[in-house]
Amino acid sequence: MKDNSAGYVMRTLAICCVCLGMTAPASAQGFAGLGADAEGFSHPARDLPIVFPRDHGPHPDFRIEWWYLTANLKDADGIAYGLQWTLFRSALEPGDAPGWTSPQVWMGHAAVTTADAHYVAERLARGGIGQAGAIAAPFTAWIDDWEMTATGDGIADLNLRARGADFGYDMALSAGGPLVLQGDAGYSVKSASGRASYYYSQPFYAIRGTLQLPDRDVDVSGTAWLDREWASQPLGETQISWDWFSMVFDDGARMMGFTLHDSEAGDFTAATWITPEGEATPFPDGAFVSEPLETAMVAGRSVPVVWRARLPDKGVDVTVRALNPQAWMDTLVSYWEGPVTITGSHTGQGYLEMTGY
């Protein structure tokens, strides 16, 4: 019986990937194939700026895209929670087609993290039949019964929900600041050789709602951060992993920083400083520095769960500590994603994503 089911899993996955022509999760094509060859797809260009509301919607001519929302929450007793809602789009070929033959594949990840538990759910769907997708205006993005839907113009006010086998949430979000274009007006360089993606964020959401946990429902509120990014070949072939930080400081400022690890060319970093009013300052490679301080064994891997992150230009020198070191996303493409607390020159909270461990 056991052998059968193991064989069955292997087969299903193999069929899944063979039928769809999916690439291997980790190969010589950057993490999750993000460095894979992208012939026929569109590429970001500096002279083609982001336009709203059009660019809230999907870009089927680009190979990959995501709607990535993370939130730091607290309940009435001050207990901290993290929440993630992500919709990935991945195109096997550029463009779209109605019906089963659509080359668009959608993947949803949802998670709720507490100090001692991490609930994860994953959904997969193909485009073309309406099971998953996104619409620019009025904005909505969905997969199955999970959805992120605007209640007004643009994406300033959202309803958000997702449900897994053992958890779920229903949230309402309202933006307290403007959209932030990352990099050069949304053109975000990802390597020294100039690979790039379109990248904008809404880091000013106030979020409120209910978490459904296995043993109880909890009313929570806090801050949320939405990242929108699309590209066709954002990473170099040797860029195998990254560490990405979003920080919401107690004084109202926000900061985004990432380090891309390259197996040959060395690390590439970038950061954006966002004032409480929403004015964004991008920083070039090298301005932002992150170094691991402590690791933990997570899902059989050694993963850094305490970091020192610095942006000397803004006097930032903080310690970033995972709320729950075991926040491993055991999904088809697996990675670490969880809420963090920030102490040091600045205090606050945020989210940390680490891939390629």
Contacting residues toward another protein, per CB under 8 A: 4-25, 27, 99-102, 105, 121, 124-126, 129-131, 142, 144-145, 163-165, 168, 212, 330-334
DSSP 215-236: S-EEEEEEEEEEEEEEESS-S-
State the DSSP code for 28: B
C-alpha triplet 223, 226, 227: angle, nearest 5°: 145
User: How many separate helices (H) and strands (E) can be counted in the chain?
Assistant: 1, 25
Is-contact 59 42, C-beta < 8 A?
A: yes
Yes or no: say if 201 and 277 are a contact pair by the CB < 8 Å rule.
Answer: no
Integer Cα distance of 79 and 59 in angstroms: 39
Residue 313 CB, nearest distance to another protein (Å)?
39
CB of 165 to another protein, least distance (A): 5
Q: Residue 100 or residue 264: which is nearer to another protein going by CB? A: 100
**Minimum distance between the CB of residue 357 and another protein, rounded to whole angstroms?**
14
Of 126 and 308, which has the nearer Cβ to another protein? Answer: 126
Q: State which residue, 7 or 152, has the beta carbon closest to another protein.
A: 7
Give the shortest CB-218-to-another protein separation in angstroms. Answer: 16
CB of 266 to another protein, least distance (A): 28
Smallest separation (angstroms) from another protein to the CB of 88: 12
**Residue 169: which of 228, 96, 219 has the closest Cα?**
219
